[in-house]
Structure 1
Amino acid sequence: MYTAIIAEDSKPILRNIQALIQSTELPIRIAATVSNGIEALEFIKEHPVDILLTDIRMPKLDGLALIEQCKLVNPRLKAVLISGYSDFEYTRKALNLQVFDYLLKPVERHQLVDVMERLVKQLDEQQRNEKDLFEGIVEPEFLSSMELGMDFYTDDKFMLILRRQPFTPELGLDLWTENVIQRCLAEVSAPDGCWVFPTLLPEKFLALVNGSVLNTYLSVHAYMEAVSSGLQVHGIQVSIAAEPQLAGILALVTGYEQLDKMMNEQLSISVRLMDTVYSMPKGMLPSGEMEKLTGLFADMIGQRKKERFTLLLKQQLLNFQSTNIRITELERFIWFLAEVFNNMVSHQHSWDRLSLAGEVELLLARESYDAFGEAVLSWTEQSFELLHLQNKKSGQELFQQLDQYLQQNIYSKLSISDVALKFHVSPSYISRIVKKHSQSTFVHYFMQLKIDEACRLIATKPELKVKDVSEVLSFGDQHYFSKVFKEYTGCSPTEYKEGRIESGSGLPFTTDR
């Protein structure tokens, strides 16, 4: 529904226009009717208005001057002039003032309906374009029914992201809602406007606040503290990140991603965030430390060292708490453990990505960090039990997966570290598995696969040169390839090729593994 005001000093004409609009089914509500430009301007200063219909000649403030003044108050206002035939040329020139259209007196129904239908269509299109700005940020169901009144556009704003603080007591469904957050912010912001939008993630809300609120608060940070205190009254603990620079809607919404990234990087497990500037986050592990840490725990999982794993995990969780680690780092660590356990269990017990995400989300949603730690220890213990319950085929299954992976990458240059990274286990564990099931080292096993493939290529594609076979199998150096080939087959590639030609055999040579 769009709001309109009619400014016309002739009461019969004013009543006629009002009645004509009300008789249509157009989504237009007449908010006020006034008899002069001064009254119209005062109303528009105090109320959100979408449409102004004004006579071109009025006492105190004529129609053109009124439109000019109103545009300063509300640049988005759509204006329609009402004029007589004697003012027609004057009216036509007024269209340069971004007047939407004009109505000639006496105003007839078909003329008014035509103008107002086109005006409503333009307003609808404008609203759709503005909704598109929020796509990918605001929750889709809310976005589909979202209506932003004209007062939303009357002031530059600053942006807040409010995120429910991790490891705080679970809120009831009736508390962490857009209505409750909107009401709390409205109380803090009054008499200035603020708008709250639920985002794609249920733990976050976006808020846009009129810059005029800074007439009440000394700074954006002071306002943020007031918001936090107001929410705490309802038992809601939040972290808040803000873009303090006042700007229009387009600039703010397009900057949401950067502000959200800053919040995600800065958010920690125990200290509420109140930040308006981007800085290198504290509570981050030094470069490379997370890789070492996860590698250590992955090795213990691979070797089924449950007791040592549990002991070190307890200590690490305490370390995370004492350093107030960032949520992103903690989530990264838990995700890694989840994926290692998942890759170690058999297919019949493994989780898909969605189920795994649900497991991690439940762990991170605990009401306190201590409860989170207990849940993690319980979860890892259950995961170890699942590994223990697997029969001895598990090692054979992993070896079969390794063999399949090496066969698929026979033309690549793979190291044992590359394979260990792929399967989320340690290189030493890969070495033991390969030794146990092939009686060979990883290097010799993979090299044997490559030499078998070289024999097949030489036998089936005699047109290939030794250099070509060497390159395609990623040996790099032809002489090195020939040396390795002879070690594994007892003859050089050239001798092997000539022997195949002399024997006339088309079957590939196969070495014993």
Structure 2
Amino acid sequence: MSMYKVLIVDDEPRIRDGLSTLIDWGELGFVVVDKAANGIEAMNKYKRLEPDLIIADIRMPEMNGLELVKAIRSAGGAMHVLILSGYADFEYAKQAMTLRIDGYLLKPVDEDELMDYLAKLKKELDQESEYKRSADRERGTSTETAILAMLSEDGAKHGQPQAIREWDAFEVVLIKPHGLGTEEALAYAQIRKNLEDKFEPAGRGIVFQLEPYIGLLLSGGYHREEWSRRLLYQDIQAACAEYADDFTAAAGNQATVWSELRSSYLSALDLMRRRFFLESETIATAGSGTPFVARSQACSDKQALDGAMAGQKLYWAVDIGKRESIVRQVEEAAAALIKLGRGETEFKAEFVQLLSDVLDKLSVSRPEFNTREYRARLLELYTELHCRSFLHRIVGILVDIADSIECSSGRSPIARMIDLIHRNYSDNLKLEKLAELFNYNSAYLGKLFKSETGEHFNTYLDKVRIEHAKKLLEQGMKVYQAADKVGYANVDYFHAKFRKYEGASPSAYKKK
């Protein structure tokens, strides 16, 4: 019986040695082939040993566990990974979810938990080995070999196979199934067989293996007509239905001669790399994109780079409990990030950070509000496969938060503005920004505010700030500290405002 190779990586010798003797590895189908004290040493040993499983500490000098996994993944490494940590750290767990980690174990390692992981991994590795052997046998067919050779960089050297000499056009479609479950290799193989049964007997196309995708070489220009794209999508959907939760499919440019096949493949591959931002439930083609991609293209550079207020405005939208404002702020932030060229991982991470900032501010402005449940839901965002569903889930979280706090959404906009000012007077509150949230013209909103309060917006805000500053000064706080605490970055400006409303300087008031 073949054994699967394990590399243990930890900067503590006792952990490395302890793990290697903790269980009977051989009985479970594994063998510890080596140990490493840090990520750099592990990288060198990985290249030489090609282990099937790496068990790595998340915190190590020089190169930590996540950096190690990211480096190996970037180089094409497809090994399984178990991460060890002495810290139940949200930030690390969040990163780990983007790197295809099989398990996340806290130290000291529980023997039974580790054995359960290994039993599951053994089953997956057995399936992958069997699938690889089967795929290797199938890959020997001349047509698939010719297609794969043509898609390589020196593809022009390979002739067109006999089986498709009569085709007058070609088109490469790449298919990526998602959520294949525990028996991933078998599900992948069955989807491929279903596609072969659907396309090959009828001469509609040839299925080929191109991990992590299933390739489909179509006869003719399938994506030229809406009806044909819809038919193609339905056929792929039927092939995946029993074995995958979802899938992404991207069609390359049409090739009219065999020598253009690689160009079709590269255009499909480029779409696949941007698949997170493409519409779901359709075949991606050149020019595909969500409404957020279209909106980003319409953004000016100034709009795209003006991200400093994004978290602030999102928090205000939640605070006033206005759903349409929440939706608008989320979509504007999405368009700005796409305009800045953010990839899927960066896009998700920056949005999660935005939501974390909103929760942080709510913890301060509403100390009675428990944010724990919502912070736990942030990790779920990383499982979303498409931009649209990702943003929909974000809106859902924010609306749930707005519904759970006493945002008084039934009250007038002015009443809600007053509440917002009294809770957030130290923020950079601007009438123009609040008008956007309420979907009002700023001049009109200013008149409404003056009519109901008897004060201009800026005057009202200044008076609230000065009242809070007086309390801070009475408590012994220094003038420049009080100014900053209530929202005045310029202490001279604070002096002028204080004297205007109190008839004395902050220093004189403090001495009273």
- TM-score > 0.5, shorter chain as reference: no
TM class by shorter chain equals 0.3 to 0.5
The normalised TM-score by structure 2 is 0.34
**Larger gyration radius, structure 1 or structure 2:** 1
The normalised TM-score by structure 1 is 0.34
